[in-house]
Amino acid sequence: MEEREYWIEGPGGRQFAKSWTPRETLSRSPVILFHDSLGSVALWRDFPKMLARATGRRVIAYDRLGFGRSDARRDRVSRDFIGEEAERYVPALCAHLGIDRFVACGHSVGGGMAVETGARLGERCDAVATIAAQAFVENRTLEGIRRARIDFASPDNRARLTKYHGDKADWVLRAWIETWLAPEFADWSLESALRQVHCPLLAVHGEHDEYGSTEHPRRIAAGRGEMIVLSGAGHTPHRECPDRLVDVLRPFIESAAAARTA
């Protein structure tokens, strides 16, 4: 397994990315991973390597601007930040890494970014997979964020965030909490983007996800894709049960990509 790190010059600053490439990779579109609201490349843990090994594909994860090892941001996140990720940053990533076609796979809000990428870059996207993604603003999601706000008041919990984001940790936390709890964000949904996704789609969700009910994968998959609920899992299947997650993603990616190239 070859692991490589990259620095990408994009809108607003440099972004960090990492790839995992199996030694016997065939000519297949790579998988791009989109992290969650507090996530980073490092917080995917061993999942990218496991997915690369299982699928025989190059897997790429990157830190969004303001997160992980990427450059800091000082601005306020816009209401359309999920769609903007697909429009502004993904093309720069693809250009730098020489990616033509790809599979978009995202966790939590990163799942929304994967959907937006499938909608806005549809001619290049072979498939979309979401993991614990939100499709709309649900009370359960907001309650989870309010609980997290209290938890992160603890110095120990704040130190955990700093471990992955350094001095950007306060911005990362504010961007998550302030955006989702803002009144103007209350009517946000993925409906418009989902109507524009025409590639195969899979919505994976944990049975006990503390940030969203199974109504989210139902809406994402409704009439356009497949929904799989992982029994016993919570909001982070890639850390809680990575083997099971890889087991459901691998056949989907293989069959979806084959259908797109048939």
As a whole number of angstroms, the distance between CA 130 and CA 197 comes to 13
Percent of the chain with pLDDT over 90: 85
The CATH number for 68's domain is: 3.40.50.1820
Q: Which amino acid is located at 25 in the chain?
A: T
Closest CA to 201 of 170, 233, 224: 224
Would you place residue 76 in the very low, low, confident or very high pLDDT band (cuts 50, 70, 90)?
A: confident
Q: What is the pLDDT of residue 53?
A: 95
Token pair 């607003």 is found at 12
Q: What is the mean pLDDT of residues 90-104?
A: 95
Highest-confidence range of 146-150, 236-240, 255-259, by mean pLDDT? 236-240
As a whole number of angstroms, the distance between CA 114 and CA 117 comes to 5
Q: Is pLDDT of 172 > 80?
A: yes
Q: What is the pLDDT of residue 157?
A: 85
Q: How many distinct structural domains can be found in the chain? A: 1
Distances from the Cα of 89 to the Cα of 13, 64, 191, angstroms: 11, 8, 22
Helix (H) or strand (E) holding 208: none
pTM of the model: 0.95
Q: Is pLDDT of 262 > 60?
A: no
Q: What is the pLDDT of residue 256?
A: 77
Q: Can you give the residue range of the structural domain that contains 221?
A: 2-261
Average model confidence (pLDDT) across the chain: 94
